[in-house]
Amino acid sequence: MREPGGAAMIEAIKIWNEPNNLSHWDFEMDPGWKDFSKMTILAAKAMREAAPHVPLVLGGISPIDPHFVLLMQAEGVLDHVDVVAIHGFPLDWNHWKLEEWPAKIKEIQKVTNLPIWITEVGASSFGSEEVQTLGLERTTELLRGRADRIFWYSLLDLPPSWPATTRHKEVEGSSYYRHFYMGLIRADGTPKPAFERFNPELGLCQWFHFEDPRLDEAVGWMKQLGIRKLRTGISWADWHRPNAIEWFDRQMAALQDFDVTVTLCFTPPSRGKRACHTSPPLVPAEFAEFAVQVLKRYAPKRR
């Protein structure tokens, strides 16, 4: 029997998204990530009690930084999670080459014995769809067998009229606009050449906006691709919107045929030290309460 509002099979919970990236966590307001560490430990303890069978993943670090992992170990965070996740985009945003992927994984393996998941990797078609296809093929060659989970980012291009979730928006120049071309499917709903070259042994990462009209379309494309593993998010900020439960019930029900890694992140403006999704929360325990609500509503009691 499914849980209330029941739905997708939650395979894992990912705590935050890119916590060492200023676009997703304001570490200028949280020097040393003390607030982040406290929030994460409280949430992990609460989720472990509520659903001990669900693996907990430390939010995909970007940049890939072993010093951040060592800091998380020193703060006790790694004692409460099962996996460390990393993100990499060497063809678009990172200052290292595509061929360095194996070395980047080894950098993290040297500082932790926890499994490493690659929860976002991708290549945009901003400059060329051929470059995206080559990036997909070479990335697949380099990463298969090197991590238990690999999620390609992403399925759908971002519609040009929508905002990308970054801190400085258009001020970032071409770095900002690359966010709009990461999909295998163009914003007009037509597949790119990379779509035909995608290996479904990889999972997909697809973020859905609140009340996203592309949800059913995305499910259809993923089934056509033969996708089994999916990473998406449930925004803490959106959880505070009117009709939030109705939307997330619909989202998770639509994803019921996939094994889903759910990322929990983004501070509600009313609950942060400042009114921004990147802000440390005023009360770290409130994130834990949100996380437990998600688990109780959408995670089956046993795998």
Q: What is the DSSP string of 188-255?
A: TSPBPHHHHH--TTSEEE----TT-TTHHHHHHHHHHHT--EEEEEEEHHHHTSTTHHHHHHHHHHHT
Residue 184 lies in a domain: yes
Residue 258 lies in a domain: yes
Residue 242 lies in a domain: yes
Residue 274 lies in a domain: yes
Residue 56 lies in a domain: yes
Residue 33 lies in a domain: yes
Sign of CA dihedral 98, 104, 106, 109: negative
- What is the per-residue pLDDT for 302? 56
CA angle in degrees (0–180, nearest 5) for 217-18-96: 100
Q: How many angstroms separate the CA atoms of 152 and 89, rounded?
A: 10
Q: Tokens representing 75?
A: 């703060």
Q: How many domains does the chain have?
A: 1
Domain ranges, residue 236: 9-298
Mean pLDDT of 43-56: 97
Q: Which of 35-44, 86-95, 166-175, 203-212 has the lowest mean pLDDT?
A: 166-175
List, for residues 131-154, the tens digit of each pLDDT value. Answer: 999 999 999 999 999 999 999 999
What CATH number is attached to the domain comprising 50?
3.20.20
Share of the chain above pLDDT 90, in %: 88
Q: Tokens representing 222?
A: 């993923």
Q: Per-residue DSSP letters for 11-37?
A: EEEEE-S-TTSTTT--TTSSGGGHHHH
Residue 303 lies in a domain: no
Residue 260: C-alpha distances to residues 42, 118, 121, 178, 229 (Å):
23, 14, 17, 26, 6
Please name the residue that has the structure tokens 């998406």: 232
Per-residue pLDDT for 169 more than 70?
Answer: no
Q: How many angstroms separate the CA atoms of 63 and 69, rounded?
A: 11
pTM score, two decimals? 0.94
Residue 273 lies in a domain: yes
Q: Which of 7-11, 18-22, 296-300 has the lowest mean pLDDT?
A: 7-11
Q: How many Cβ atoms are within 10 Å of 134's Cβ, its own excluded?
A: 17
285: Cβ–Cβ under 8 A, 6 or more apart, which residues?
Answer: 42
